[in-house]
């Protein structure tokens, strides 16, 4: 308060300065991670090398959670890497089973026909 010619000028009671307190982010409203490069790498690698995308995505998610951020790219890379890795494993198992079946049938047919070149049901077999 200022006094001019014996009269008070201005607000007689100064208002206290209110500074906003930083609030900790809630789990549902986490800010996006400032460094999203690992998340982007995991998303790219998820398509080219799914296991690498899975691993890099897991690392990026752990780093983001540790620092209190969310990393959407890392989550997408992790999920896609996991899905594509599972699909590759399933395709490999199916390929191995089908290959074993085909070669098992071929071996069994050659056992029945004996050595030589044979035309059996429209298919030419070369058995040694």
> pLDDT tens, 90-120?
999 999 999 999 889 888 888 888 888 888 7
Distance CA 75, CA 120 (A): 54
Q: Which one, of 41, 32, 99, 93, lies nearest residue 67 by Cα?
A: 32
Whether 31 shows a pLDDT value over 60: the answer reads yes
Q: What is the mean pLDDT of the chain?
A: 83
User: Percent of the chain beyond pLDDT 90?
Assistant: 41
The arithmetic mean of pLDDT across residues 43-72, rounded, is 92
The arithmetic mean of pLDDT across residues 27-42, rounded, is 75
The arithmetic mean of pLDDT across residues 63-91, rounded, is 93
pLDDT at 111: 84
In this prediction, residue 28 has a pLDDT band, given cuts at 50, 70 and 90, of low
Q: Which residues contact 51 (CB under 8 A, 6 or more apart)?
A: 81, 85
Distance CA 60, CA 48 (A): 18
Q: Which residue has the higher pLDDT, 35 or 81?
A: 81
Distance CA 60, CA 58 (A): 5
Evaluated on CA atoms 53, 58, 64, 67, the torsion sign reads negative
pLDDT at 44: 95
Whether 11 shows a pLDDT value over 80: the answer reads no
């Amino acid at each position: 308060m200022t006094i001019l010619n014996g009269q008070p000028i201005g607000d007689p009671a100064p208002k206290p300065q209110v500074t906003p307190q930083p609030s900790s982010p809630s789990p549902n409203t986490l800010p996006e991670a400032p460094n999203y490069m690992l998340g982007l790498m995991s998303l790219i690698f998820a398509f080219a090398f799914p296991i690498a995308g899975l691993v890099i995505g897991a690392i990026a998610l752990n780093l983001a959670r540790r620092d209190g951020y969310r990393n959407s790219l890392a989550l997408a890379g992790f999920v896609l890497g996991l899905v594509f890795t599972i699909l590759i494993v399933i395709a490999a198992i199916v390929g191995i089973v089908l290959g074993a079946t085909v070669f098992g049938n071929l071996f069994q047919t050659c056992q029945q026909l004996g050595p030589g070149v044979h035309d059996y049901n429209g298919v030419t077999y070369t058995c040694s």
